[in-house]
Structure 1
Amino acid sequence: MAFVEYNRIGEDGTIAEIILNRPESRNAFNSEMATQILEIFQNIASSDVRVVLLTSSNSKSFCSGADLKERNNMTETEWKEQHKLFQTMFNTIKELKQPVIAVVDGYALAGGFEMILNCDMIVAAKTATFGLPEVTRGIMPGGGGTRLLAKGIGIQKAKEWVCTGKLVTAEEADRAGLLNYLVESDEIREIAIVLAERIANNAPLAVQNCKVAVEEMFGMPDHDARKIEIELYNRCINTEDRLEGVLAFVEKRTPQFSGK
């Protein structure tokens, strides 16, 4: 059974839309759904896709985390093996060379929130709710929650959210600096596509190197960061798209980037 839909959208099909579609379980991911997400992202990594939208078919729930009903019947060994699958899924989203935009409405809890944190940007509806309630279940976030949340909202706020397990409104998440856009529910997809198109219209390799630069240099001593920055800059210099970008500027036309 397909729990995840995959479409190519945009004028040239360079935007991928991944839709979580297990509404009867509030899009909680079981092993099969996680495997489908993982395989789709692995396929996108070697494709000509330039931007990914990760969204949900259910406006009431983006993703409620791991399916605890499935886990309830597992042995300790099976639980740990399944979590390795989940870790691989999260890491594959995070490490994708193309930017990933989470398009969030409804509840995004536990592993569902961590899925979002492994994305590069977040467009959320005002009706969205975020939370890492793992401490209320005797565990802690294991897919990036404690590691990634502080990058978005700062250490003090991150400690509060993960140690209380509180539910966070979209407005509070926006005030904390987590979101790129906070919008009405009925316009969320349209605004996310506009953002994706603005990214997709740029040189793919330049965008991908920018993503790597921001990720790798965050919090790094400036002396070390300079070396990485110039290395990534030089990668862009040695591309056909750099030549096309300069030529298009001189000729006063829209550049036609090829990703080479």
Structure 2
Amino acid sequence: MAFASWERIGDKGTIGKIVLNRPEARNAFNTEMGKQIIDICQQIAKSDIRVVLLTSSSSKAFCSGADLKERNGISEEEFHRHHEIFVEMFNAIADLPQPVIAVVDGYALAGGFELALNCDMILASQNAVFGLPEVTRGIMPGGGGSRLLQRKVAMHIAKEWLFTGKFVMAEEANRAGLLNELTDSSVLYNRAIELAESIEKNAPIAVQNCKSSVNDLHGMIDREAREQENVYYSRCLNTEDRYEGIRAFVEKRSPVFIGK
């Protein structure tokens, strides 16, 4: 059964849409869903997709985290095996070379919130609810929550959310700086498409190196960061797209980038 799927969308077919599809469980991920997401990301990483939307089949929940029913009564060895799959799933999202936009409607809790945090941007509806309630269950976030949340919001805010396990309404999340945009549920998907299209039209090699630079240079010593930034810059120089960008500017037209 497909608990996650993906398709090409948009006029050019270079926007990828991943859909989480376990609505009866508020899109809680089990091991099979984790494996499917890993496989999808491997396919997209090798493709000509330029930007990815991570969405849900239900407006009630983006993802409510790991399926605790699946974990109930399993051995410690099985628990660790499941967790390894989920860590690989989170990493597969984070490591996609293409920018990934989380489109959050409804609940994004625990590992579901971490799925969104592993994306590059988050768009959410007024109905969105975020939270990392792991401490209320005797554990801590295991998919990057404590590491990634402090990059999205101020550290003291991240600590409050992590230490209390509180549910955070969309308005509060937006005020804290978590979101790229907060909008009504009825237009959320269209706004996500518009953002994706504004990225899709740009040179994909340049966009992907921007993503690598932002991610990899975070927290690096400035002198080392300068050198590494130049490495990413250099990767864009000898490309057909750079020459096309120059030609289009001189000819006063929109560039047509091919990703080479």
Find the residue that maps to 1:237 and give its secondary structure: coil
Q: Which moves more between the two structures, 126-135 or 224-233?
A: 224-233
Instruction: Name the residue aligned to 2:100.
Output: 100
List, as ranges, runs of 4+ consecutive aligned residues in structure 1 with deviation greater than 3 Å.
none
| Correspondence 1:1-260 to 2 at 5 A | 1-260=1-260
Find the aligned partners of 1:62 and 1:194 in 2 and give their Cα distance.
20
Find the aligned partners of 2:5 and 2:77 in 1 and give their Cα distance.
30
Find the aligned partners of 2:234 and 2:103 in 1 and give their Cα distance.
33
Find the aligned partners of 1:82 and 1:21 in 2 and give their Cα distance.
19
Which whole-Å deviations, capped at 9, do the CAs of 1:194-241 have from their partners, x for residues lacking one? 000000000000000000111111222221110011111111111110
Q: CA deviation at 1:5?
A: 2.5
Between the two proteins, the alignment pairs up a number of residues equal to: 260
Find the aligned partners of 2:73 and 2:97 in 1 and give their Cα distance.
36
RMSD (Å) for aligned C-alpha atoms: 0.7
Find the aligned partners of 2:36 and 2:241 in 1 and give their Cα distance.
33
Q: CA deviation at 1:39?
A: 0.4
Find the aligned partners of 2:157 and 2:238 in 1 and give their Cα distance.
42
Find the aligned partners of 1:54 and 1:133 in 2 and give their Cα distance.
22
TM-score with structure 1 length normalisation? 0.99
TM-score with structure 2 length normalisation? 0.99
> Percent identity between the aligned chains?
64
Q: CA deviation at 1:4?
A: 1.3
| Structure 1 gap ranges (5+) | none
Q: CA deviation at 1:24?
A: 0.5
The one-letter code sitting in structure 1 at the alignment partner of 2:166 is K
